[in-house]
Structures are given as structure tokens and as C-alpha cells.
Amino acid sequence: MQSEWTSASRVSSNAWTRLQLAATPGSQLWRLASENCPSGWSSSRSLVPSPWIALAARADLILVRDRIAEAARYYHHDRAVVVRTGLDLDEERWHLWHELVHADDGDEAGHTDIRRERWVDREAARRAMPITTLIWAFGLAENWHTAAALLKLPEARVRWYVGSALEPDARDLVRRASARAS
Ligand SMILES: [Zn+2]
């Protein structure tokens, strides 16, 4: 486990060096990588959006970690996102994005409506993996595993979103970025 994390952070660090070399000052990628997001979901130092920053931007919402059966849940009455204690960080990142969508929508029903859940997952993925971020990650990664490490998300979620849930035009952009890298 330790070596996996060490190697993931080395990949990230190399990726940053390559991104800095590749992104010409003044280009769109450079601008997107440099600007602060006014809604607080990103930072000037990373192309990977942070749900914890998004959470901090929502002053009335709290995060609680507890020993619950499901991975995470949103309680509208308490304006609380509860995440299961001990989740891997990439899992927590994903589930936090999912619960933030519920919270922003004021959902009271929990995860009961399958069609609704599909929409929430798609919206969570859109926030977790903006197209610029995908192009960056797939331009650097040699496989799904490394792309997921760069995106800091579970590989299965990345495969699902890029493989079957992303808009065809956007998928094409990612595929082309990926082809350039190989
Ligand atoms: Zn849900």
C-alpha cells in the first residue's frame, strides 16, 4: 500500500513537470490551470477539483465521519454529509462529490431512486472530472490506472464516466489527447 501511494505521488509530480513544460503561457490550458475558481471548487495549484474545498465553500454544510453501512449519505434536515469512517481517500473524494450534488439539490429522499442516482452520479463525475482535467490526465497517463491516480478517483468510476457516460464530443477530445500521448 505504501509503495502504491509513493508511486502515485511520483507520477503526479512527473505529470506536473510535464504539464508545466507542455502548457505554453497564454494558452487556454495554461489559463485554465492558473485561474482561481470563484465558486471555490478548485485551486490555483491543481487541475483536479477538490470536493473538500467545495464543501468549505458551503458554510451551512457539515461533514461527519461515522461507522455507517453505506459509503456516504446526505441528511437534508441537518445539512450534513456523513461519510463512512475508513474509506480510501479516492473513494471518499468520489462519494463526497456525489453527496454534494444531493446537498446542492436539497434532496431529502436519500439514495432511493435509481434513475435519480444515475443523474447524481453523472453530475458528480462532471464536477470531479471537468473536460480540461480529463484531457490533462489522459494526455499524461499511459493507462486507466495511471489516469485514475492522476484524477485521484477510483479507477472504476473513471472507466464508467469516460467509457460510457461522457458526452460523445468530450469523449472524442479525451481520446485524441490520449492518442497524442502514446
Ligand atoms: Zn445518492
For ligand 1, the distance from its centroid to the CA atom of residue 127, given in whole angstroms, is 15
For ligand 1, the distance from its centroid to the CA atom of residue 97, given in whole angstroms, is 10
For ligand 1, the distance from its centroid to the CA atom of residue 117, given in whole angstroms, is 5
Q: In 3D, which of 119, 12, 108, 121 has the Cα closest to residue 71?
A: 121
For ligand 1, the distance from its centroid to the CA atom of residue 82, given in whole angstroms, is 12
For ligand 1, the distance from its centroid to the CA atom of residue 41, given in whole angstroms, is 20
Q: Where are the beta strands (DSSP E) in 27-162?
A: 62-66, 72-75, 80-84
Domain assignment present for residue 4? The answer is yes
Domain assignment present for residue 181? The answer is yes
Q: pLDDT grade, residue 11 (50/70/90)?
A: very low
For ligand 1, the distance from its centroid to the CA atom of residue 92, given in whole angstroms, is 14
Instruction: Report the half-sphere exposure of 73 (CA within 13 A, side-chain side).
Output: 15
Residue with cell 431512486: 113
Q: Are residues 22 and 54 in the same domain?
A: no
Domain assignment present for residue 124? The answer is no
Name the domain count of the chain. Answer: 2
For ligand 1, the distance from its centroid to the CA atom of residue 80, given in whole angstroms, is 14
Neighbours of 23 (CB within 10 A): 18
Residue 45, domain extent: 38-110
Domain assignment present for residue 177? The answer is yes
Q: Which pLDDT tens digit goes with each residue over 168-179?
A: 999 999 999 997
Q: Are residues 51 and 106 in the same domain?
A: yes
Q: Are residues 29 and 49 in the same domain?
A: no
**Phi and psi dihedrals of 137, rounded to 5?**
-65, -45
pTM metric for this prediction = 0.75
Residue with cell 478548485: 42
Task: Choose between 180 and 181: higher pLDDT.
Answer: 180
Domain assignment present for residue 134? The answer is yes
Domain assignment present for residue 119? The answer is no
Domain assignment present for residue 116? The answer is no
CA-CA-CA-CA torsion sign (21, 126, 39, 8): negative
